Amino acid sequence: TFKKLKNGRSKKRMYMDSNYSFRNNHRRDHYFLILNLFLIVFFIFLYILNQKYLKHYLDLCFFRYHFNDILAGGIIITYVNLLFIFLRKPQYCLRQFWIIVCVNIVIGFFWEFITPFYRPDSITDPYDLVAYTSGGCLYYTIINVFNSKHMRI
């Protein structure tokens, strides 16, 4: 439609339909999907590498007790984001730093302080809470390193 201006000229006005946001964010969401698929495969690869080799051949407490917890923090955020993407709700993806940290703290708190009540082989380790949060920070850092003009976080 055209709007009549004071000087006698007309100006075309653009209107957005309900699918405007979906169509124009498609590239960004596609890039974010590919990045999250890569990250979950990468984190799972590192987990398997740690379980099979690093724990046994590198006799370090870090790989034996905390490395998998760091990977778990990244895997959880990646998994949640993939669920939102596959459910066609990319606007709910966890992309902000403080949300990622809060989700990892809540999940870590549950795993470390609630799980031992119903699972006898589980123990409470407050350092694991720091490891889960570090995994979320690692995820946030990686997606910001790969950030491009097509994907604004």
CA atoms within 13 A on the CB side of 140: 18
Nearest-angstrom CA–CA distance, 74 and 140: 9
Find tokens 């570090």 and name the residue.
Answer: 134
Note the pLDDT of residue 9.
Answer: 62
pTM comes to: 0.77
Task: Report residue 76 as tokens.
Answer: 């959880």
Q: Which residues of the chain have pLDDT under 70?
A: 1-28, 148-153
CB 39 within 8 A of CB 46: no
The model's pLDDT over 20-32, given as tens digits with 9 standing for 90+, comes to: 454 555 666 788 8
Residue 58: its pLDDT value, please?
85
pLDDT tens by residue, 92-110: 999 999 999 999 999 999 9
83-103 residues labelled b (16+ CB within 10 A) or e (exposed): ebbeeeebeebbbeeeebbeb
Q: Do the Cβ atoms of 142 and 114 come closer than 8 Å?
A: no
DSSP secondary structure letter of residue 150: T
